[in-house]
Structure 1
Amino acid sequence: MLTSQEHLTHALTDRWFYALVATGLFLNATGLYPPILEPDGALYASIAKTMALNGDFVNLYAVGRDWLDKPHFPFWITAFSYLLLGINTVAYKLPALLFFGLSTVYTYRFARLMYSKIVAQVATIVFLTAFHGILSNSDVRAEPYLTALVIGPVYHFYRVFQNAPRPWLHILLGSFLTGCALMTKGPFVVVPIGAGLVLHWLLTGNWRELLKPRWYVVVILSALFTLPEIITLYLQFDLHPDKVVFGKTDVSGVRFFFWDSQFGRFFNTGPIKGSGDPFFFVHTLLWAFLPWSLPLYISVGSVLLGLARRRNPLPEYVSLGSGLATFLLFSASGFQLPHYMNIVFPFFAILTAQFLVSLSPVNLSRWTIGQTIIGGLLVVLIVAVLLLFQPERLTGALVWVGVVALATALLFRNNKLLSLMGRMTGVMLLLAGVLNLFFYPSLLQYQAGMVAAHYVNTRQDLPPTTAIYGTGTYGESAWSYEFYVDRPVWYARPDSMLRRRVAQEPVLVFTSAAYADSLRNNGFAPRTVATFPYYHVSKLSYPFLNPATRPQTLQPYVLLEVKN
């Protein structure tokens, strides 16, 4: 039990909680402002654009060909958003942000089932301010969707376990969200959804829960809700064994969904391979879960130590089980990316919150000071990057830093829980604002495809048909060009296709300078319309950030007018 002094130290009034949550939602919403980042974001945006324009919600196409990699659910949601809001940056990112907001609600509600109100409040703020969550709301992929589709089923299934009123409703909702999760990432999502529940039942002596028929109903319903994905894959690929996918024919989309897309990547035997490192997520979480990574690691360590000593350190083990099982699964995988761990951030946030709230006033004060130092170092780092990179609105960025830092320092002076949450929210507001409002808008001017598309959209005198030429441009800047240009795009592959098209009408071609030279060598006579500098902006380096050496890191992309 906390003493009256400890209660005062750990207080977080509803007014402050709502203010911090609103700030957290706002700092994530700044991700709507910058353009879509290459390569993956632009690829997914273009796939959904093709779906919306064609009215074809069965087949997925990329680079002008059948595409077999990710399941349909995020593309369906994005395509519907395009139909409602038009094809633009906000329409692509807004649905993901709404799913992130749903994750926030579920994080609070799940934490509130077994913890005090203050733990649920702190967990919600921790979740809203974790760095890679903020990053994923700007560089949108599947993770904002999947996070809600993991914590949501866990909440509903835990309510079923608690024998809540109307259990059938929780079974239905949980199964529906699980089906949507399967249609977002594939079969491996059952690990973050189910592992925590199973571990909780085993550690609390409720192992007989595994034998109850209601969970087999959940499995059946989840499979039924996944049928749209299975059917669309069957229609696009299994019914057409002649299609060439991954360089071969007779490729089963259904098999890919159940095996190659997940187990193939895990064992590194599928068509898409990576290079796994068992310690990748150990060091990745140190920056991805900033500013909360250290309390998270200490929390998990203390819980595991308590379990080893046969104590009961937590009121629930779902968060520990889901978080650790997913961490270990991805660490053992042959294919790893930093954003993979975002889907269990709600569970990490709850583990972090219960640790912080359990601290004595003296230790809480120490942690507040330590976290403030970490926050201060982040501010110094972002200012150093700003001064090095010299974005277009550098003065505005520095003013933003100064105003947010001063307001945070004035509002949160004491080393109590409110000050800890307020200071970290202020630091991440400062960071998100700098990245999304000042840094990225200047950085993304080096996405040659996007800039070229905007240029084409203002030139009515250019040919109405446009093509992307050269396989080496795919994955670089072709996809942002395809998404942002306001005219039909096709991929000129091979040369004979371009030659036939040029014989009928002039073609506007977007390609790299190297491929432009190959066009000339292959007998075409292109006229250069404009040239645009390109850099792979998702892989920053010091030579690029430094204006003095930046020109050496850039490669030219060109718009060409090709006539008969």
Structure 2
Amino acid sequence: MEISPKLFFGLAAVGILVNASGLLLPIMEPDGALYATIAKNMVLSGDYVNLMLEGNDWLDKPHLPFWITALSYNIFGINSFAYKLPAFLFWLAGAIYLFQFAKRILNVKAAQIAVLVYLSAEHLILSNNDVRAEPYLTGLIIAGTYHYFRGYTEERLTHFILGGFMVALGVMTKGPFFGIIVIGGLFTEWIIKKDWNQFRSYRLWISLLVAGVAILPELVSLYIQFDQHPEKWVFGRQQVSGIRFFFIDSQFGRFFNTGPIKGKGDPFFYLHTVLWAFLPWSITLVLYCFSRFRLKGYIGKPGLYLSGASALIGFVLFSLSGFQLPHYLNILFPYFSVIVASYLITMSGAGERAFKVSSTILFWIIAVGITALVFLLKPAFSYYIAILIFCTSIAIYALTKRASSRNIFIRLFLQVMLLNIFLNAVFYPFLFTFQSGMHAAKHLQQAGNRNRVYMFYSMPADYAFEFYSTNPILRVNTITNNQINFPADFFTTQSMADSLMLDNRYRIEILKVFDHFRITRLTGKFV
């Protein structure tokens, strides 16, 4: 299967634009709005060392994404676009690094396919809308792998140093497990090839030294905020070490479920997560893993062991972890893209037939699924939208009617683009009407209200309100708190408002009611 350079650049441009459309949407709750608010607090306070949320010390994620976001705020202002843009650029850099990496371990045509797979992987597109740390990590992980690969194959210290620096940036974004995935893949390739001299190479140890030095800003910040202040209360206790949390409690604590942040891990969670998160290429990934297909012409090439081992190490780590979320898997997608590309350029016989049949079925499932979703949501002009979407699907199918692997690949790529155009242009704008905090903040701005707004601690966190609001906000325990200056504006839930209405000591007036639903956890009943 081969795609011409002109067609590749055209498809890549479409993929980048569709991913970029997420920049124009608001920030989703809870995590995206939480991270955006912490960076906002940095800029407003001028304090770039202490991570603060609602006036309290916040210890969970490392500083780097917040520093980068704060820089973006200082350039573009505090808004949704400025929050999402840096993450998008890191993700885009990942596509460039992926092309260079795949070109070196396979060839140009495989690199083109790998990039198109990366641009159209569903959860990567979703993550450019619901931005957390993953777009940063996705770009950094393939960058680190690329530089280490070139460093050892070309014996170039410069690339080892750059590889170590990329690992440091990833560690300052998520934690030590990032380094385990990149370095673990590198070590696995050397072990399989019995290239023991690489472990004694001064280049490797210099790169690790660079990584250790590069994470010092994170360690110093944690020391200043937490280790210097054992009197601070964090996770319901005192004498909490930020440095210990960074190296041990944060990720190893989550992995063994012994840290302050716990979950309920399922070793099979990511087996079914990858089936939808890596759509539309997850079936092709499964075909690669379970067919009798062998990369006879490629298996000995430098880099394939590295990428495959990094993917496997990451997948096993995530699967065995006690704390799991679907978006954690995103950082493995560059490796998956290389694997899928290596399969597609050499498949034949039963493997190729399976790809054609499964991809055609998936194409029509997506077409019918989008159309059905339109009728469920019933947006304005829903019938026209449904007809337009289905006719576009038919047009895509007709334009790629010849059942070659190349045409079927292009067809599926374009169908995923159509799906995400619908999501970002119709579906998500509809969902955002239920993100009450954002609309409450905008209502205050439009009304010219600059008063302090009070929120009860008993109310679930609403970080979208805190991010979009230009009003000062204060959390209180009860309405009798002596910090409240009456008359006072409150942002609260309907149930809390109803209970306040029954209190004869106060005259309560409801100024505005907003629809609310946690839109990142959709239910069939809600849809």
TM-score by length of 2: 0.95
The equivalent of 1:385 in structure 2 is 373
User: Is the 1:365–1:416 Cα contact (8 Å) retained in structure 2?
Assistant: no
Alpha carbons of structure 1 residues 473 and 129: separation in structure 2 relative to 1, 3 Å: same
One of 489, 493, 511 as aligned partner of 1:508: 489
One of 360, 380, 383 as aligned partner of 2:348: 360
State how far apart, in whole Å, the 1-side matches of 2:387 and 2:218 are. Answer: 48
The equivalent of 1:561 in structure 2 is none
One of 35, 51, 65 as aligned partner of 2:42: 51
Q: Does 2:23 correspond to 1:32?
A: yes
The equivalent of 1:553 in structure 2 is none
SS at structure 2 position matched to 1:500? coil
Task: Give, in angstroms, the shift of residue 197 of structure 1.
Answer: 1.1
Alpha carbons of structure 1 residues 359 and 463: separation in structure 2 relative to 1, 3 Å: closer
SS at structure 2 position matched to 1:530? coil
The equivalent of 2:129 in structure 1 is 138
User: Is the 1:93–1:137 Cα contact (8 Å) retained in structure 2?
Assistant: yes
Deviation string 1:451-508 (CA, Å, 9 cap, x unpaired) is 1111111002x3522222233321xxx11111112222222245554x33315xx432
Deviation string 1:23-54 (CA, Å, 9 cap, x unpaired) is 11111112112211111111111111111111
Task: Give, in angstroms, the shift of residue 212 of structure 1.
Answer: 1.5
The equivalent of 1:321 in structure 2 is 309
State how far apart, in whole Å, the 2-side matches of 1:404 and 1:52 are. Answer: 45
User: Is the 1:364–1:415 Cα contact (8 Å) retained in structure 2?
Assistant: no
One of 81, 85, 98 as aligned partner of 1:107: 98
The Cα RMSD (Å) is 2.1
Alpha carbons of structure 1 residues 432 and 210: separation in structure 2 relative to 1, 3 Å: same
User: Is the 2:32–2:131 Cα contact (8 Å) retained in structure 1?
Assistant: yes
Task: Give, in angstroms, the shift of residue 413 of structure 1.
Answer: 2.2
Q: Does 2:221 correspond to 1:232?
A: yes
Task: Give, in angstroms, the shift of residue 125 of structure 1.
Answer: 0.5
Task: Give, in angstroms, the shift of residue 390 of structure 1.
Answer: 1.7
State how far apart, in whole Å, the 1-side matches of 2:294 and 2:334 are. Answer: 22
SS at structure 2 position matched to 1:41? helix
Task: Give, in angstroms, the shift of residue 119 of structure 1.
Answer: 0.9
Task: Give, in angstroms, the shift of residue 190 of structure 1.
Answer: 1.3
Task: Give, in angstroms, the shift of residue 427 of structure 1.
Answer: 1.0
Alpha carbons of structure 1 residues 495 and 243: separation in structure 2 relative to 1, 3 Å: farther
After the TM superposition, which of the residue ranges 175-184 and 331-340 deviates more from structure 2? 175-184
Alpha carbons of structure 1 residues 191 and 391: separation in structure 2 relative to 1, 3 Å: farther
Alpha carbons of structure 1 residues 393 and 451: separation in structure 2 relative to 1, 3 Å: farther
1:469 alignment partner AA: F
State how far apart, in whole Å, the 1-side matches of 2:511 and 2:334 are. Answer: 50
Q: Does 2:173 correspond to 1:163?
A: no
SS at structure 2 position matched to 1:501? coil
State how far apart, in whole Å, the 1-side matches of 2:193 and 2:294 are. Answer: 14
1:337 alignment partner AA: L
Task: Give, in angstroms, the shift of residue 176 of structure 1.
Answer: 1.6
1:286 alignment partner AA: L
One of 194, 209, 212 as aligned partner of 1:220: 209
State how far apart, in whole Å, the 2-side matches of 1:441 and 1:32 are. Answer: 13
SS at structure 1 position matched to 2:154? coil
Q: Does 2:451 correspond to 1:464?
A: yes
After the TM superposition, which of the residue ranges 383-392 and 180-189 deviates more from structure 2? 383-392
1:447 alignment partner AA: Q
1:86 alignment partner AA: G
The equivalent of 1:526 in structure 2 is 508
State how far apart, in whole Å, the 2-side matches of 1:384 and 1:402 are. Answer: 10
State how far apart, in whole Å, the 1-side matches of 2:381 and 2:476 are. Answer: 38
The equivalent of 2:33 in structure 1 is 42
One of 217, 236, 239 as aligned partner of 1:247: 236
Task: Give, in angstroms, the shift of residue 243 of structure 1.
Answer: 1.1
State how far apart, in whole Å, the 1-side matches of 2:171 and 2:271 are. Answer: 26
Alpha carbons of structure 1 residues 433 and 311: separation in structure 2 relative to 1, 3 Å: closer
Which runs of structure 2 are paired with 1:466-481 in the superposition (5 Å)?
A: 466-474=453-461, 478-481=462-465
Alpha carbons of structure 1 residues 205 and 429: separation in structure 2 relative to 1, 3 Å: same
User: Is the 1:38–1:538 Cα contact (8 Å) retained in structure 2?
Assistant: yes
One of 373, 376, 386 as aligned partner of 2:364: 376
State how far apart, in whole Å, the 2-side matches of 1:528 and 1:71 are. Answer: 40
The equivalent of 1:265 in structure 2 is 254
Task: Give, in angstroms, the shift of residue 382 of structure 1.
Answer: 1.9
User: Is the 1:143–1:340 Cα contact (8 Å) retained in structure 2?
Assistant: yes
Task: Give, in angstroms, the shift of residue 530 of structure 1.
Answer: 0.8
2:7 alignment partner AA: W
Task: Give, in angstroms, the shift of residue 403 of structure 1.
Answer: 5.6
Task: Give, in angstroms, the shift of residue 90 of structure 1.
Answer: 1.0
Q: Does 2:443 correspond to 1:443?
A: no
SS at structure 2 position matched to 1:87? coil
Alpha carbons of structure 1 residues 463 and 335: separation in structure 2 relative to 1, 3 Å: same
Which runs of structure 2 are paired with 1:402-413 in the superposition (5 Å)?
A: 402=390, 404-413=392-401
State how far apart, in whole Å, the 2-side matches of 1:268 and 1:182 are. Answer: 20
After the TM superposition, which of the residue ranges 127-136 and 380-389 deviates more from structure 2? 380-389
1:313 alignment partner AA: I
State how far apart, in whole Å, the 1-side matches of 2:150 and 2:388 are. Answer: 44
Alpha carbons of structure 1 residues 400 and 96: separation in structure 2 relative to 1, 3 Å: farther
Task: Give, in angstroms, the shift of residue 401 of structure 1.
Answer: 1.7
One of 421, 424, 448 as aligned partner of 2:409: 421
User: Is the 2:121–2:280 Cα contact (8 Å) retained in structure 1?
Assistant: yes
SS at structure 2 position matched to 1:468? strand
1:424 alignment partner AA: L
After the TM superposition, which of the residue ranges 136-145 and 398-407 deviates more from structure 2? 398-407
TM-score by length of 1: 0.89
Deviation string 1:371-392 (CA, Å, 9 cap, x unpaired) is 0211210221122122112234
State how far apart, in whole Å, the 1-side matches of 2:279 and 2:476 are. Answer: 44
State how far apart, in whole Å, the 2-side matches of 1:312 and 1:150 are. Answer: 23
Alpha carbons of structure 1 residues 201 and 451: separation in structure 2 relative to 1, 3 Å: same
Alpha carbons of structure 1 residues 400 and 161: separation in structure 2 relative to 1, 3 Å: farther
Task: Give, in angstroms, the shift of residue 13 of structure 1.
Answer: 0.7
Alpha carbons of structure 1 residues 411 and 362: separation in structure 2 relative to 1, 3 Å: farther
2:109 alignment partner AA: I
**Which blocks of at least 5 consecutive residues in structure 2 are unaligned?**
none
Q: Does 2:68 correspond to 1:86?
A: no
Alpha carbons of structure 1 residues 223 and 394: separation in structure 2 relative to 1, 3 Å: farther
User: Is the 1:129–1:424 Cα contact (8 Å) retained in structure 2?
Assistant: no
State how far apart, in whole Å, the 1-side matches of 2:22 and 2:123 are. Answer: 12
Task: Give, in angstroms, the shift of residue 437 of structure 1.
Answer: 0.9
State how far apart, in whole Å, the 2-side matches of 1:82 and 1:108 are. Answer: 30
User: Is the 2:283–2:358 Cα contact (8 Å) retained in structure 1?
Assistant: no
Task: Give, in angstroms, the shift of residue 410 of structure 1.
Answer: 3.7
User: Is the 2:161–2:206 Cα contact (8 Å) retained in structure 1?
Assistant: no
Alpha carbons of structure 1 residues 74 and 407: separation in structure 2 relative to 1, 3 Å: farther
- Percent identity, aligned pairs only, is 41
After the TM superposition, which of the residue ranges 488-497 and 108-117 deviates more from structure 2? 488-497
Alpha carbons of structure 1 residues 117 and 36: separation in structure 2 relative to 1, 3 Å: same
The equivalent of 1:279 in structure 2 is 268
Task: Give, in angstroms, the shift of residue 120 of structure 1.
Answer: 0.9
